[in-house]
Structure 1
């Protein structure tokens, strides 16, 4: 998942809120020092008589001048009131050379009531302490400039200031204005209490200025500065810097002795915005260093994030969010706790919308400083901002990473798929590109890992294991793409394919009828996916099953694009075929067919399944007592055929056709003769080659044939075994386990007849025979031996002696041999019946 640092820098907005709040607080606190001293001076006017011009009064403490008051004219009125004109006050710092100035056109003081009034304008010039002078606005001077430049001065203008001694409050209802370099502030009305050292800005608080070459703007409904506890409180503050905005119902700023912000909090409907991004929370806490740079921030209470950027809409949520920052204000760690989640959308070729998401009880993001691209002017960043790149993501507790992908399987149109990775613990690591982008490098999941993929047509695949390791590499477009993925420990898999039944004369899936889902499952010790080859390799007790068919092996490799597969080591396929039945009918199960080999190969497009072994340990196909074994068994699902071959010139293909017998109609008998019980048959065949077709239900053995079993011992050049027609099987599912199920099956069904050709030699108990062709029919246990001059069929019977004729008909259980004469003699066929004496 591509990660954008811009989506996480909104926490710096909190710094902007507190920073601008500090500007107002520092200015107000500086004015507090001047106002308090000014009020104290009014108490010393009692000794002035009548009118005095150019009045000057100084006070010293421990040999250091603390203040000097000068008035162009002072008038004492008879009622105990005084008027001062053209007033100028100098306030001296106890520990430095800083001097503050206060100017007023006229001041009236009533000694009886203890009320002092400044008539008209009041102006103050307050020097900023050197400890904070270099950090308060964007015109910060170089370190060497402190000696050669004039002190930085805060200018304060107001009017109609009233001091009430009994209340210990100095107040004005007029506007108060502050200016400091490129920073300014104003408020509608102010109150100052020397007793508890508090300054209250009554309404319409507004501060503006330049910080780090960006415009700052702050408003509040009111403000309260408590110098004793170094706390500044704001009502409904809103702060803006660049494209960032922060606001809340209230905010509290905790100040250091030098007036800089130590930490602060905002409560109630906290909103932080940056461009199209908006973060909401119930509460915000933040800590700043002595340079007013954000060190940490905490958002509490239903934290949500929404970015309406049309190119990449994003949403996120958590109960709490903690962020830590380095000395430059760049984030180092951000932690979301309590059902943490982030989701985004991104456009893709073809007008598609791609979704990305991450969930977890806790999500931790780690960042590294990007010195190369710092201050590169990223959108929404300060010109001097520090750049950060995501280094890692860590989701804990019901963790999930999900997203969409577009895949184009061989011969198919591109398909949008939904992917998800679940685990108890998910860790993603990132690398930095030359362009300064973070690129996903690895993804590690531990504990109950799950990979889930769902296609647009409802196809679903899923795998579960103890551990997941995935590696990513840059793609041609610069985005991260999967290189390898490995799941280990108790790996299980599930695949559900939704197919529509084929319409008559059309390809599968072309019907508009209801879809038929098929489910296959699998398991292994571990599985590895390699994107370059698009292959999934499963190792260790690999098992596939579609509910009726199964495949086991030590190792299986599946080619995801083509659907081809290879199996190696102790391969065993089990096929449980069912007769196809009309909808609603119960399918009749047939005996299970097994195929065992050393290795196997499946080609999906050609419906090819090849099972390989050696002549010493051949591949074997069997069902019940029937079987075929050879070094190579090649199934062709298109032709519905099986080819069996040995590995070497001296090797053989061996087959066994067995049936348990049963009750059936005697072939060729009249209905009145009824039914009889047929005997069980077993026929063993060995030859260099076997070719079987499911269409004709014939197994052709060639290259020299040897037969044993119910037929006795038969040798010939060629043999054809015909099987009884089987009932049509139900469609198989999709996957390696089903590849064998879709193939021809010469052991599925009973033997109908066997015909052997070419130099036939037959041996049965008490009987031998030769001929050109021998036909055995299993249903009536009948043999027909034929030949042609000069090689007429010939039987040597232990009791009857030699028997020769054009056609010899007999059976194992019967007591007669039917002999037909030479076809060329007059009268046609000659039928001879020979009685065979039975021994008792």
Structure 2
């Protein structure tokens, strides 16, 4: 035998006939890569089996130095193996044990591989304390150097790590690959892999999250023999994320055909890339699931708190109950629960559709913010027979530079050259607040732009003419059919202009008779009440007062307060307590009293 096993003992009993030998004394032995001792030994010649009866102690002095103890050992020739009962192994900071271990030897008695079975346990201490349990462990050695080539755990593999990064996992098989002098380079986990990382909160960080990865298989690349560098999944895989606090039930599930993970210099998870068919589902008990899909996703992690941001790219679709969104790119930050959409974003919320250059959705409050070339359309509207300006079933359109929409109540604020219209009714202002459910509008002017509102007026013949009203502020509610204008109000029709401090324009009910359906869809003036420094201007005449009541059906103006006065080039100036005049004729009805008699000033040609 090449490189035989050398034994040294005392009290040896030898049977010359059978070739068997035994001793109850201490036995010392030596092989090329190890030496050791035991108490008691028995050799059976016909089976070539040497049994070390108890207190087995082996010291490996190869490139993988270790001390092995066992309750019993059997050294066999065919095959060349050493079988250890209840072995315990110590290798620096690493400790291992099993119910049984078989050391397979090469012809030169060097170790080829080791098979440990039955409740295999491996512990490693250091900055990260790691424990691995499995039904079996197979160690394969390199032939030229005796260094470890692979370590394969199989059968209900359970892993647990404590320290800066607490983690645990299970798998059917774990394969560790080594190079050089037992330097771990790669690892592969297979068969129903489940890995959980528990985040330890850093000072001032957000609430920590637990991250759970399940996959058919995961391949790891290890740097410096101990630090995870990157990982890649194979087969179906998903990542579950949930707050570490037990009283927070929210759970986020991320799936993709493949995940690639990168770790930082401390071996903590830094980023994850998932593609293709990326999908994120967030669940909360009693709430609708929030689902987003895309071609790919990238998640960045902050040490001690979990996910910092998730970026999705390529055909992004987001669904949250009735709210749906589409974009080329999306970025979600769990800390503030804000989803940012870019690349032709479009959001549909019930009957409201909005497009813009970019949009932000606050998943906590339900608010939505749009910026740049905002366009909103409110559709699926029911006709309101008792309404007026916004009572049609036609879509309501709004454009602006920016928008802030509140889900509850359904209110949207549009700012920056805002324009709202339905059919021929138009409101333009620096800012417009629109309440979808109440069909109400609040418009506000700025230092450089007034509020502009376009209504219509119909005469007795049915002829329709536009009425444009500018003001500092407009308040309108469709159920009241009253538009209230404040501040430097000017109403301009085809041949008459009215200026006042305030003006209430009452509109006709949409269900009232109209010459055409198109006319029924417009905001038709019924009557106007204007107050404060009223000025009425027509070609050839003007009138002033403190209050005006205008009736559209009769084209009649009733002016009071001030006292009121009217002037035209032909008849001069007329003043009274009340002046009543009409748009298309020269009639002026003047009322006076004892304290304020009627006065007529007439120009006399000289």
Do the aligned partners of 1:793 and 1:805 also contact (CA within 8 Å) in 2? no
Q: State the 1:357 CA deviation.
A: 2.2
Return closer, same or farther for 1:250/1:811 CA change in 2, 3 Å cut-off: farther
Matched residue, 2:592: 823
Question: Is it true that 1:231 corresponds to 2:81 in the alignment?
Answer: yes
For residue 5 of structure 2, give the secondary structure of its aligned residue in structure 1. helix
Matched residue, 1:493: 318
Question: Which of 319, 322, 336 does residue 189 from structure 2 map onto?
Answer: 336
Question: Which of 402, 425, 442 does residue 642 from structure 1 map onto?
Answer: 442
Structure 1 CA distance for aligned equivalents of residues 10 and 581 of structure 2: 134
Structure 1 CA distance for aligned equivalents of residues 536 and 139 of structure 2: 100
Q: State the 1:295 CA deviation.
A: 0.9
Deviations 1:35-90 (A, max 9, x none): xxxxxxxxxxxxxxxxxxxxxxxxxxxxxxxxxxxxxxxxxxxxxxxxxxxxxxxx
Matched residue, 1:699: 484
Matched residue, 1:41: none
Q: State the 1:468 CA deviation.
A: 1.4
Structure 1 CA distance for aligned equivalents of residues 282 and 249 of structure 2: 10
Matched residue, 1:759: 535
Matched residue, 2:69: 218
Do the aligned partners of 1:439 and 1:480 also contact (CA within 8 Å) in 2? no
Q: Matches of residues 194-273 of structure 1 in structure 2 within 5 Å?
A: 198-201=48-51, 203-204=53-54, 206-209=56-59, 216-226=67-77, 228-241=78-91, 244-273=94-123
Structure 1 CA distance for aligned equivalents of residues 229 and 508 of structure 2: 67
Do the aligned partners of 1:806 and 1:819 also contact (CA within 8 Å) in 2? no
Q: State the 1:323 CA deviation.
A: 1.5
Q: Matches of residues 645-724 of structure 1 in structure 2 within 5 Å?
A: 645=445, 653-656=452-455, 684-693=466-475, 698-700=483-485, 703=488, 705-708=490-493, 713-718=495-500, 720-722=503-505
Matched residue, 1:466: 295
Q: State the 1:601 CA deviation.
A: 3.9
Matched residue, 2:348: 545
Structure 1 CA distance for aligned equivalents of residues 398 and 441 of structure 2: 18
Which consecutive residues of structure 2, in runs of 5 or more, have no partner in the other structure?
384-390, 510-520, 571-575, 599-606
Do the aligned partners of 1:183 and 1:209 also contact (CA within 8 Å) in 2? yes
Q: State the 1:317 CA deviation.
A: 1.1
Question: Which of 597, 600, 603 does residue 399 from structure 2 map onto?
Answer: 597
Return closer, same or farther for 1:415/1:273 CA change in 2, 3 Å cut-off: closer
Structure 1 CA distance for aligned equivalents of residues 508 and 58 of structure 2: 94
Q: State the 1:368 CA deviation.
A: 1.8
Return closer, same or farther for 1:281/1:690 CA change in 2, 3 Å cut-off: same
Question: Which of 198, 216, 219 does residue 364 from structure 1 map onto?
Answer: 219
Question: Is it true that 1:288 corresponds to 2:141 in the alignment?
Answer: yes
Return closer, same or farther for 1:556/1:687 CA change in 2, 3 Å cut-off: same
Q: State the 1:525 CA deviation.
A: 1.5
Structure 2 CA distance for aligned equivalents of residues 347 and 723 of structure 1: 64
Q: State the 1:206 CA deviation.
A: 1.8
Structure 1 CA distance for aligned equivalents of residues 506 and 489 of structure 2: 21
Structure 2 CA distance for aligned equivalents of residues 750 and 365 of structure 1: 73
Question: Is it true that 1:304 corresponds to 2:147 in the alignment?
Answer: no
Q: State the 1:621 CA deviation.
A: 1.0
For residue 488 of structure 1, give the secondary structure of its aligned residue in structure 2. strand
Do the aligned partners of 2:170 and 2:195 also contact (CA within 8 Å) in 1? yes
Return closer, same or farther for 1:203/1:600 CA change in 2, 3 Å cut-off: same
Do the aligned partners of 1:423 and 1:445 also contact (CA within 8 Å) in 2? yes
Question: Which of 319, 323, 333 does residue 520 from structure 1 map onto?
Answer: 323
- Give the RMSD, CA atoms, in angstroms: 5.2
Structure 2 CA distance for aligned equivalents of residues 296 and 467 of structure 1: 34
Matched residue, 2:255: 422
Question: Which of 216, 227, 235 does residue 397 from structure 1 map onto?
Answer: 235
Q: State the 1:542 CA deviation.
A: 1.1
Structure 2 CA distance for aligned equivalents of residues 179 and 427 of structure 1: 50
Q: Which region of structure 1 is more displaced relative to structure 2, 689-698 or 520-529?
A: 689-698
Structure 1 CA distance for aligned equivalents of residues 170 and 332 of structure 2: 33
Return closer, same or farther for 1:706/1:229 CA change in 2, 3 Å cut-off: same
Matched residue, 1:571: 375
Q: State the 1:366 CA deviation.
A: 0.4
Q: Which region of structure 1 is more displaced relative to structure 2, 546-555 or 351-360?
A: 351-360
Deviations 1:239-265 (A, max 9, x none): 344564434444332222332212232
Q: State the 1:176 CA deviation.
A: 4.9
Do the aligned partners of 1:187 and 1:203 also contact (CA within 8 Å) in 2? yes
Matched residue, 1:786: 558
For residue 259 of structure 1, give the secondary structure of its aligned residue in structure 2. coil
Do the aligned partners of 2:54 and 2:73 also contact (CA within 8 Å) in 1? yes
Q: State the 1:724 CA deviation.
A: 7.7
Return closer, same or farther for 1:393/1:805 CA change in 2, 3 Å cut-off: same
Structure 2 CA distance for aligned equivalents of residues 688 and 468 of structure 1: 50
Structure 2 CA distance for aligned equivalents of residues 282 and 748 of structure 1: 81
For residue 295 of structure 2, give the secondary structure of its aligned residue in structure 1. strand
Structure 1 CA distance for aligned equivalents of residues 308 and 234 of structure 2: 24
Matched residue, 2:416: 612
Q: State the 1:333 CA deviation.
A: 0.9
Structure 2 CA distance for aligned equivalents of residues 488 and 561 of structure 1: 23
Q: State the 1:342 CA deviation.
A: 0.9
Q: State the 1:220 CA deviation.
A: 4.6
Q: Matches of residues 7-26 of structure 1 in structure 2 within 5 Å?
A: none
Q: State the 1:444 CA deviation.
A: 1.4
Q: State the 1:536 CA deviation.
A: 5.0
Q: State the 1:445 CA deviation.
A: 1.3
For residue 541 of structure 1, give the secondary structure of its aligned residue in structure 2. coil
Q: State the 1:823 CA deviation.
A: 3.2
Question: Which of 432, 442, 445 does residue 271 from structure 2 map onto?
Answer: 442
Structure 2 CA distance for aligned equivalents of residues 636 and 347 of structure 1: 46
Matched residue, 1:731: none
Q: From the two aligned structures, give the one with the greater helix fraction.
A: 1
Q: State the 1:298 CA deviation.
A: 1.9
Structure 1 CA distance for aligned equivalents of residues 110 and 137 of structure 2: 19
For residue 438 of structure 1, give the secondary structure of its aligned residue in structure 2. coil
Structure 1 CA distance for aligned equivalents of residues 431 and 150 of structure 2: 70
Structure 2 CA distance for aligned equivalents of residues 687 and 235 of structure 1: 99
Q: State the 1:603 CA deviation.
A: 8.6
Question: Which of 153, 159, 162 does residue 11 from structure 2 map onto?
Answer: 159
Question: Which of 628, 631, 641 does residue 427 from structure 2 map onto?
Answer: 628
Return closer, same or farther for 1:403/1:748 CA change in 2, 3 Å cut-off: farther
Q: From the two aligned structures, give the one with the greater strand fraction.
A: 2
Q: State the 1:715 CA deviation.
A: 1.5
- Larger C-alpha radius of gyration, 1 or 2? 1
Return closer, same or farther for 1:251/1:341 CA change in 2, 3 Å cut-off: same
Q: State the 1:191 CA deviation.
A: 1.9
Structure 1 CA distance for aligned equivalents of residues 28 and 405 of structure 2: 83
Do the aligned partners of 2:2 and 2:107 also contact (CA within 8 Å) in 1? no
Structure 1 CA distance for aligned equivalents of residues 89 and 382 of structure 2: 74
**TM-score, length-scaled by structure 2:** 0.71
For residue 345 of structure 2, give the secondary structure of its aligned residue in structure 1. strand
Structure 2 CA distance for aligned equivalents of residues 725 and 179 of structure 1: 112
For residue 159 of structure 1, give the secondary structure of its aligned residue in structure 2. coil
